[in-house]
Copies of this chain bind each other. A is one copy, B any other.
């Protein structure tokens, strides 16, 4: 029952009702003892009034909001869904609520998310930016609360950081395609001015080198990390390189678009063109043919990031920044089955 006297019950309401001071109420409610008699009266009053402590007052007083935030590009990308899921679980476990920032990869939005730490509504932030500008670095440096970055950071940034070497992952993809005898291996990349775009491009070149395949700029197309963009890019590539027999896509969304484009263009997968995606999202199991993809441990990265943050907000307040990493793993499916 809410109190009849207007607003919700407060320790003051309870104190009056129980005939004790607010201090006693607070103590009892926080299990700090008291005379049995007092305890009983307070608990009775609290129950009758349906008392629930005001989280805002607690936060203000305690200097801790009990909230952390996760900023990502777009929850529409299954990679982030996987991350959010695990982050949510770890956060809840540790008693934190989770806030979501969808930035749309907009630089301003990302910076806003970082800056918003300053108002202390959130105790810490996990951020996964695909571009890292000087502004980002400045803002990261002057962040007033712990930040964990998912994604590769330049040397010398003293921040908790969860990374995965997607350059190696990309090379694995190319090696896999070369391994099943493909010679004309195309690459559908995202924007080259993004961290993943850059790394995967390097990895693609590495992979070609290792497989002793010539580098041919004709084989590379750029677009956004999205399905529609992937389909368009695939069509452009097919037009230009009719004898394509392998295709590495910089993420699963692009790969899904590519599969569609290939089908529309009458190419069989994997017989004519074998395809490899990246991120090993849930999508990879749903397409037809199912998609071979290089997993980058997104769920695991989310989990690790959350654990780092939670630790730093508790025990590990003053520890050195930690850089942890996850190993890419190729999961072979029908799209490269010989």
Contacts and interface: CB of A to CB of B under 8 A. Distances in A.
A53 interface: yes
Contacts of A285: 227
Contacts of A256: 286
A285 B257 CA distance: 10
Interface of A: 2, 8, 50, 52-57, 59-60, 65-67, 74-76, 81, 84-85, 88-89, 92, 97-100, 102, 115, 118-121, 144, 227, 256, 259, 263, 282-283, 285-289
Contacts of A102: 85, 88-89, 92
A119 B54 contact: yes
A60 B121 CA distance: 12
A8 B144 contact: yes
A88 to B, nearest CB: 5
**Which of A56, A98, A99 is most buried by chain B, counting CB atoms within 10 A of its CB?**
A56
Nearest to A53: B119
A162 B81 CA distance: 24
20 contacts: A52-B119, A53-B119, A54-B119, A55-B119, A55-B120, A56-B56, A56-B60, A59-B59, A59-B60, A67-B121, A75-B75, A75-B81, A75-B84, A76-B85, A76-B282, A97-B99, A98-B99, A283-B286, A286-B286, A286-B287
Contacts of A288: 259, 263, 287-289
Contacts of A289: 288
Closest 5 CB pairs of A and B: A288-B288, A55-B121, A52-B118, A55-B119, A56-B59
A259 B57 CA distance: 53
A216 to B, nearest CB: 30
A116 to B, nearest CB: 9
Contacts of A75: 75, 81, 84-85, 88
A54 B287 CA distance: 48
A303 to B, nearest CB: 14
Contacts of A88: 75, 100, 102
A115 B53 CA distance: 12
Given A67-B99, A85-B102, A287-B288, 12 more contacts: A52-B115, A52-B119, A53-B119, A54-B120, A56-B59, A66-B121, A76-B85, A76-B282, A84-B100, A92-B102, A97-B121, A227-B286
Nearest to A7: B63
A30 B301 CA distance: 41
A26 to B, nearest CB: 16
A118 B8 contact: yes
A283 B8 CA distance: 45
